[in-house]
Amino acid sequence: MNLKKYSILLLVLLLFSCKTFLERFAEETGRSENIRIRLSAPDQINVPYRKDIVIMGVRTGKEIGINEGVNISHNGGKAFINDLEMNEPVLIFSKEERLITFNDKKYLGEIKVTPEESGFDIVNFVPLETYLISVIPSEINIDSFSIEAVKAQAIVARTYAYVFLDRYADKRSFDVDDTVRYQVYGGYGLEAERNTSAKVQTIRTLPPRMTLTPSATRLTNGASA
């Protein structure tokens, strides 16, 4: 192989192996506290095949060897992963900490799928600061507001999340869900990355949280707001 062809091949490998901003950010914030987000449960779950994607039984800790795209579905009161009966909850994650395509949306962290009588309970585990990267652009158009407004929204979003982290830590399998009932969370994509990457470093330096009233409807910091 001549030098020119080798250089082109090396460039292609680098382009396809380098982590995105979101993936690098998730790795950097991996030590922050995890938040558990219950995802809206579909009738079927599809995860395209990729070598770094792992499907692991929660109780047994055994990896389920699948060399093709994953389809998780219900049939006759039973749950199946492709043609294999699903006898326990499973964790889906990337061993390289990359984005996971899950029913045409992209998520980071781990996704736990628990079969139920007529569907699935699905919970996404991500670092809190990584969660905010999806939530903040859903709550405020950060390209239209000043950085100070984005900072304020970041503090509110983080504080609001902490309310439910504290409240439900040992009481249920999730802290928040992905709907307007808590904070809208739609996973991650190019739009979230493009809109947030320029301001995320500033957001990360903010105070960890302020204080919310028990009903979580009013932000206070020595005075009502």
* pLDDT score for 45: 92
Q: Is 18 exposed, middle or buried (0-12, 13-18, 19+ CB in 10 A)?
A: exposed
* pLDDT score for 136: 82
Partners of 79 in beta bridges: 74
* Cα–Cα distance for residue pair 116/41, rounded to 1 Å: 11
pTM score, whole prediction: 0.77
**Each residue's pLDDT expressed in tens, for the chain with a length of 225 residues:** 455 444 444 444 444 445 665 666 666 655 568 999 999 988 889 999 899 999 999 999 988 887 788 899 988 788 999 888 888 999 999 998 889 999 989 999 999 999 988 789 999 999 888 888 888 888 777 777 777 787 788 888 888 899 999 888 888 999 999 999 999 998 887 555 555 544 554 455 444 554 444 443 333 333 333
Compute the CA torsion angle 17, 21, 24, 27 (nearest 10 deg): -130
Identity (one letter) of the amino acid at 71? N
Distances (CA, A) of 196 to 87, 106, 141, 164, 225: 40, 16, 10, 24, 26
Distances (CA, A) of 115 to 42, 60, 80, 87, 207: 12, 16, 9, 8, 39
Exposed e or buried b per residue across 47-85, where buried means at least 16 C-beta atoms within 10 angstroms of its C-beta: beeeeebbbbeeeeeeebebeeebebbbeeeebebeeee
Overall size of the chain counted in residues: 225
The answer to whether 30 and 127 are in contact (CB under 8 A) is: yes
Nearest by Cα to 197 from 128, 121, 136: 136
Annotate 154-191 with DSSP letters as a single string.
Answer: HHHHHHHHHHHHHHHTTTSS-SEESSTTS-------HH
